[in-house]
Structure 1
Amino acid sequence: MQLALAPLQTYTDYHFRNAHLAVFSGVDKFYAPYLKLNNDGTIKNAPKIDILPKNNPHVAVIPQLMACSEPEFFIMADYIESLGYTELNWNMGCPYPMVTNKNLGAGILNKPSEIFQLFDTIFPKLKMGLGIKMRMGLESTSEILEILPRLNDYPLTEIIIHARYAKQLYNGSCDHERFLECISLTNHRLTYNGDIESKEDFDDLQVRFKGIEHWMIGRGAMKNPSLFEEIRFGIVDPGDLYRDKLARFSAHLTDSLLECNPDRGYALSKMRSYWEYLSDGLSDGKQLYRKLKKSKSIEEFHGFLAEML
């Protein structure tokens, strides 16, 4: 069994990854949020910094990129390779209209001929391993039935499937029946992603998807960073111990944010953002988050945390 943390844009950056590694355990691989180009063709700065080896000294990271053409792809792939990485992941799963309307993310999934044309030009030149993370389609999960068998013609390292179509965003249920169909259609290593928010969720899916050994968790781990430990070791921390871990996790996050950027307002904004998820995993989370949102400084924020946790 291999467990991976999903790449959530603006959330699971190196600050989060390193803090998680310092306090929690159970993750085999961390996927970095995608690199993307500016309008002038240069790579956006924040994701470039995010995957620098010096910022990920003890973390097994797979960088991700988002592109819709061969030139765009290699601007980012060449940068990733220059840092010493040997594998990257191509985001074909981002569901947001501002992305899909540009033929990026899941926006290419209803154009299979374009996908295969890109692969035909990219693979002969690519020196790194390449995996993809994808939705099951743009407008329907049935779109994957045409794409998946043809992907067997390409030397992908893995296929990660979020079991929704893009226009669902994160609403509605994952299509588990469709994922079962996918298992028999591919020769590649398949990773399941989508709505794993508890050990019970994982156990049910593991029974249902026999033979699947690779799993990716995103929002569930944002709400409960100990979820990987619970799945791997079957141990749920008592409430006091878990809340103590959350306090230490938050301290690591804040220290890392301030080391990167001394603007304490920036750290406060980021910590509010993280805790919008983290509070959701606590019985008194709504009350806690209401108080955290009122914090006027990062010191006041941690004062409220200490009081409530």
Structure 2
Amino acid sequence: MQLALAPLQTYTDYHFRNAHLAVFKGVDKFYAPYLKMNNDGTIKNAPKIDILPKNNPQIAVIPQLMACGEEEFFIMADYIESLGYKELNWNMGCPYPMVTNRNLGAGILNKPSEIFELFDHIFPKLKMGLGIKMRMGLENTSEILEILPRLNDYPLTEIIIHARYAKQLYNGPCDHERFQECISLTKHPLTYNGDIESKEDFDELQIKFKGINHWMIGRGAMKNPSLFEEIQFGTVDSGEVYRNKLTLFSQHIITSLLECNPDKGYALSKMKSYWEYLSEGLSDGKQLYRKLKKAKSISDFSELLFETL
């Protein structure tokens, strides 16, 4: 069994990944949020920095990119390769309209001919392994039924499927029946992603999808970073132990943020965004988050957090 941390834009960056590796266990593979392009044809700087080897010294990380054309694909792929990576992941799953309306992310899933035309041009030139992370479609989950069998013609390293269609965003249930159909349609290693927020969720899915050995967790791990340990090792920390880990985890992130950017307002903003998720995993999380949101400085935030936890 292999567990992976999903690439959540602005959240699961190297600050989060390194802190998680230092405090928690159970993640086999980390995926970096996608590289994307500026309007002038250059790669945005923050995601470039995120995947620098010096920022990921002990992490088995897979960089991700988002592209809708061959030229921009290779601008980003060449950069990834120049850093020494042997594999990358193509985001065909981002569901947000500002992305899909530009034929990016899941916006290409209702245009299968464009996907295969891109692959026909890219694979003969590509020197790295390539996997994809995708939704089941843009408008509905049946769209994947046309795409998935034809992907067998290409040497993909893996296919990660978030079991929703894009226009759902993160609302409504995952389509488990459709995912079950997908298992027999592909020869590639298949990873399940979507709504794993507890060990109970995972156990139910593992029984349902007996042939699946690769799993990806995103929002569930943001709410409970120890979820990987609970699934991998069956261990559940006591409330006090878990809170102590969250304190240490937060301190690692704060230290990393301040080393990267001395702007303490930036660190404060980032920590508030992290704790919007982390607070959901605590019984008193709503009250704690209300206090943390009022912090005026990163030092106040740290004091409030450590006093309360």
Provide TM-score, normalisation by structure 2. 1.00
C-alpha distance in 1, partners of 2:35/2:302? Answer: 31
Residue 259 of structure 2: aligned partner: 259
Q: Answer yes or no: is 1:232 the counterpart of 2:232.
A: yes
In 1, Cα distance between equivalents of 2:75 and 2:67: 10
> Who is 2:4 aligned against?
4
SS in 2 for 1:252: helix
1:28 corresponds to which residue?
A: 28
Identity among equivalent pairs (%): 86
Question: 1:91-122 CA distances to partner (integer Å, 9 max, x unpaired)?
Answer: 00000000000000000000000000000000
Q: Does 1:40 align with 2:40?
A: yes
Q: Which deviations, in whole Å up to 9, do the C-alpha atoms of 1:234-280 show, x marking residues without a partner?
A: 01000000000000000000000000000111100000000000000
- Give the whole-Å Cα distance in 2 for the aligned partners of 1:51 and 1:303: 31
How do 1:111-126 and structure 2 match up within 5 A? 111-126=111-126
Map Cα deviations across residues 30-61 of structure 1 (whole Å, 9 max, x no partner): 00000000000000000000000000000000
| Residue type at the aligned position of 1:49 | I
Question: Which residue does the alignment assign to 2:83?
Answer: 83
Offset of residue 308 of structure 1? 1.1
Alpha-carbon distance, 1:74 to partner:
0.1
TM-superposed deviation, 1:150:
0.2
**SS of equivalent residue, structure 2 residue 262:** coil
Deviations 1:133-186 (A, max 9, x none): 000000000000000000000000000000000000000000000000000000
1:174-189 equivalences under 5 Å are 174-189=174-189
Whole-Å Cα distance in 1 between the matches of residues 215 and 308 of structure 2? Answer: 33
Measured in 2, the distance between the counterparts of 1:86 and 1:228 equals 25
Please list every run of 5 or more consecutive structure 2 residues that lacks an aligned counterpart in the other structure: none
AA aligned to 1:59 is I
The aligned runs of 1:153-302 (5 Å cut-off) are 153-302=153-302
Alignment partners' CA distance in 1, 2:236 and 2:152: 40
Give the CA deviation at 1:306: 1.2
How many pairs does the alignment contain?
A: 309
Residue by residue over 1:164-210, the C-alpha shift from the partner in whole angstroms, topping out at 9 and shown as x without a partner, is: 00000000000000000000000000000000000000000000001
Instruction: Give the deviation of 1:307 after TM superposition.
Output: 1.5
Q: What is the one-letter code of the residue matched to 2:146? A: E
SS of alignment partner, residue 30 of structure 2: strand
Residue 70 of structure 2: aligned partner = 70
For 2:306 and 2:98, how far apart are their aligned partners in 1? 39
2:304 is equivalent to residue 304 of structure 1: yes
Q: Write the distance in 1 (CA, Å) between the matches of 2:241 and 2:83.
A: 38
- The 2-side partners of 1:299 and 1:119 are apart by 49
1:105 matched to which residue of 2?
105
* CA–CA distance in structure 2, aligned partners of residues 46 and 296 of structure 1: 25
